[in-house]
Amino acid sequence: MTNDNPVKENVRQYAIQCIRDEAEALLELIPQIDDNFDAAVSMMFNCHGKIIITGVGKSGHIGAKIAATLSSTGTPAFYVNPLDIFHGDLGVMTSDDVVLALSNSGQTDELLRFIPMVRHMHVPLIAMTGNEHSLLAKYSDIHLKCRVTKEACPLNLAPTSSTTAALAMGDAIAIALMQVRKFKPRDFAQFHPGGELGKRLLTTAADVMRSDDMPIIPEDMHLGEAIIHVSKGKLGLGVSLSPDNTVTGLITDGDIRRAMERWQAQFFDRTVSDIMTRTPKTVLPTTKITEILRIMHKYKIHTVLVVDTNQHLVGIVDHYSCMI
């Protein structure tokens, strides 16, 4: 049987070469990061309005992604198609804003027609181009050079390396702004409440704790009976409380197994007070899940007790409850 598949085995080499070319283009960016980059980050950091990002075609797609990254990392930004500017969208722009315009050539007609409007409104303009002698670079307040030697496209025509470089430069700006703003995981969670990280950073012990049918056992209960209560509780533990509901101790199924090995026939004569941990790890209802996981990892435990400010038991959180 003849193989009519036009795809040859060396097609992988095309992919490898493409990735290699784009990787080299990214490394070419490093010496291009200069005082203008510092000035651009400073301008965006001190912006009292929004970062308006614009670009045409592939540059527009990259601009939209940069806007999304900035917005999700503490810098309000959005993308505007320059063609829409001429049909009413100019109203979104104010003198408190900063415009970031993307164009590899720096000669894109739609962007050049947009510049007089930006200038008339006294809006600062940052240009990101691969041509420092272009009109867009010339009329900008700050020019970010983002030049690549060649496109990954074998014809050196399709935007490939150039768009990858622009995307990386946008990420570099976002990361720099995160550092300047001292952006923390908690801040990230507020912008990503639906993600796993967001849930863990925003969810508290009160949101996941078990508060009903908790395995409560008195200190003087014999271990033979305590086994039954620990088993019924399905948490692998039992909690001892004082008459005023204050936590006095905790036993785990591991404690019970070790006690059986130690005392053997005398095991059933022993009580909860003989093996309980008198200072179990406790947290407040407002404690975040991330902190609870840190405590569990540090002390190699799978459960913490939730208490109020008076050390009264209000719930129990186990490791599985934290897996949200």
Domain co-membership, 276 together with 159 = no
Q: Is the pLDDT of residue 185 over 80?
A: no
Using DSSP bridges, classify how beta strands 247-252 and 237-241 pair: parallel, antiparallel or unpaired. Answer: antiparallel
Return the CATH number at 172: 3.40.50.10490
Residue 115 lies in a domain: yes
Structural domain boundaries enclosing 223: 205-322
Residue 247 lies in a domain: yes
Least confident among 85-94, 153-162, 234-243, 298-307: 85-94
Mean pLDDT calculated for residue range 10-37? 94
Q: What distance in Å separates the CA atoms of residue 137 and residue 101, rounded to the nearest whole number?
A: 10
Domain co-membership, 34 together with 160 = yes
Contact 95, 123 (CB under 8 A): yes
Residue 169 lies in a domain: yes
Over residues 109-135, the pLDDT tens digits come to: 888 988 888 888 899 999 999 999 999
The full DSSP string for 222-273 is: BHHHHHHHHHHHTSSEEEEE-TTSBEEEEEEHHHHHHHHHHHGGGGGG-BHH
Mean pLDDT calculated for residue range 5-27? 86
Domain co-membership, 108 together with 211 = no
Over residues 134-154, the pLDDT tens digits come to: 999 999 999 999 999 999 999
Domain co-membership, 173 together with 91 = yes
Residue 198 lies in a domain: no
Q: Which alpha helices (H) appear in 160-236, and where do they start and end?
A: 161-181, 185-191, 196-202, 205-208, 223-233
Q: Which two tokens stand for residue 163?
A: 């768009």
Q: Domain count of the chain?
A: 2
Residue 250 lies in a domain: yes
**Residue that finishes a domain, picked among 122, 152, 183:** 183
Task: Report the SS3 class of residue 193.
Answer: coil
Domain co-membership, 48 together with 102 = yes
Domain co-membership, 168 together with 215 = no
Nearest to 69 by CA among 211, 167, 179: 167
Residue 218 lies in a domain: yes
Q: Is the pLDDT of residue 74 over 60?
A: yes
Return the CATH number at 292: 3.10.580.10
